């Protein structure tokens, strides 16, 4: 009885191995054929590209695309007509880059710093601006005990919003460290609580 089951399992095993081998051979032939077709297509494309006047066949079933190609055909030129190979003397560089013009003055930008970055001895100007509550509800900006009007240029127009977004309301002292990226100056901005 055991011989019977050994024989049956051996037959199934041999059948499985033979089937797997045939599947591998068929799959390998399929991929080899696809690779050969791809290589032949590439060779044909390269031969067409080497011709002086390339001839490209278009196989399209839709009329709209065919009409569009016919209309565009009049405006297109072949590569040989557009560029004279070997005529280096005809090359004239643009006097200015037509795709980009640098701004006269860079746009202002500001970066929030960590306290350690502000206190680094990196050669930058280190200033201190204090924001005080004003009489009419508008804040007053003070630098070196003098009220300043150009605070937006120094620390940015969004400094009040940044305080409320980054510093909790009852934090004492309420401090932000700002780097003006245009002037390359660092400021310690202190908000005095009313």
Domain count, the chain: 2
Assessment of whether the complete model's pTM goes beyond 0.95:
no
Measured CA angle at 184 (ends 101, 172), to 5 deg: 130
Percentage of the chain modeled with pLDDT above 90 = 9
- Burial of residue 3 (number of CB atoms within 10 Å: 0-12, 13-18, 19+): exposed
Residues 184 and 124 occupy one common structural domain: yes
With respect to residue 99, please indicate whether it lies within any of the assigned structural domains.
no
- Boundary of a domain, candidates 45, 73, 101: 73
> Residues 127, 186: one domain?
yes
Look up the domain containing 59 and give its range. Answer: 2-73
Q: For 94-98, 115-119, 122-126, 156-160, which range has the lowest pLDDT when averaged over its residues?
A: 94-98
Asked if the structure places residue 154 within a domain, the reply is yes
Residues 33-71 pLDDT 10s: 888 888 888 888 777 777 755 555 555 556 666 676 666
Question: Are 170 and 163 spatial neighbours (Cβ–Cβ below 8 Å)?
Answer: no
Is residue 116 predicted with pLDDT exceeding 60?
yes
Which string of b and e fits 126-149 if b means at least 16 CB within 10 Å? ebebebeeeeeeeeebbbeeeeee
Residue 92 within any structural domain of the chain: no
Residues 117, 187, single domain; the answer is yes
Q: Is residue 142 part of a domain?
A: yes
Q: Are 170 and 124 within one domain?
A: yes
């Amino acid at each position: 009885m055991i011989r019977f089951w050994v024989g049956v399992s051996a037959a199934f095993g041999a059948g499985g191995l033979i089937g797997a081998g045939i599947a591998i051979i068929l799959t390998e032939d399929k991929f080899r054929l696809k690779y050969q077709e791809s290589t032949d297509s590439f060779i044909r494309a390269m031969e067409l590209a080497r011709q002086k006047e390339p001839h490209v066949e278009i196989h399209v079933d839709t009329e709209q695309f065919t009409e569009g190609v016919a209309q565009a055909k009049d405006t297109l030129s072949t590569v040989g007509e557009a560029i004279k190979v070997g005529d280096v003397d005809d090359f004239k560089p643009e006097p200015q880059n037509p795709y980009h013009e640098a701004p006269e003055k860079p746009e202002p930008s500001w970066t929030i710093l960590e306290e350690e970055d502000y206190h680094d001895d990196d050669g930058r100007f280190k200033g201190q601006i204090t924001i005080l509550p004003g009489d009419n509800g508008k804040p007053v900006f003070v630098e070196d005990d003098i009220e300043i009007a150009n605070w937006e240029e120094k620390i940015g127009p969004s400094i009040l919003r940044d305080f409320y977004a980054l510093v909790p309301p009852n934090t004492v002292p309420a401090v932000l460290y700002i780097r003006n990226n245009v002037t390359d100056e660092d400021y310690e901005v202190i908000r005095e609580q009313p």
